[in-house]
Amino acid sequence: MKKSNDDPNIDKRLAAVCGLLCEACHVYIATQEDPERLEVLSKHYQKPLEELRCNGCRSDSRCFYCNTVCFMSGCAKEKGVDFCGECSDYPCDGLKAFQAEAPHRIELWKNQERIKEAGYEQWYTEMIEHYSCSACGTINSAYDISCRRCGASPSCEYVKLHKEAIMNHLEKRK
- Give the model's pLDDT for residue 10: 86
Residue 159 lies in a domain: no
The string of DSSP letters for 13-31 reads GGB-TTS-BGGG-HHHHHH
Which residue type, as a one-letter code, is found at position 161? L
- Give the model's pLDDT for residue 5: 43
pTM over 0.95: no
- Give the model's pLDDT for residue 174: 74
60: how many CB neighbours lie within 10 A of its CB?
Answer: 7
Residue 150 CB contacts under 8 Å (≥ 6 apart), including other chains: 133, 135, 136, 138
Q: Which domain holds residue 115?
A: 12-132
- Give the model's pLDDT for residue 2: 38
- Give the model's pLDDT for residue 9: 59
Residue 157 lies in a domain: no
3-state secondary structure at position 112:
helix
The tens digit of pLDDT for each residue in 117-144 reads 999 999 999 999 999 999 999 999 999 9
Instruction: Report the number of distinct structural domains present in the chain.
Output: 1
Residue 138 lies in a domain: no
The end-to-end CA distance of the chain, in Å, is: 32
Residue 126 lies in a domain: yes
For the chain (174 residues), the mean pLDDT of every run of 10, in chain order, is: 50 95 97 96 95 95 92 96 97 96 97 97 97 98 98 98 97 85
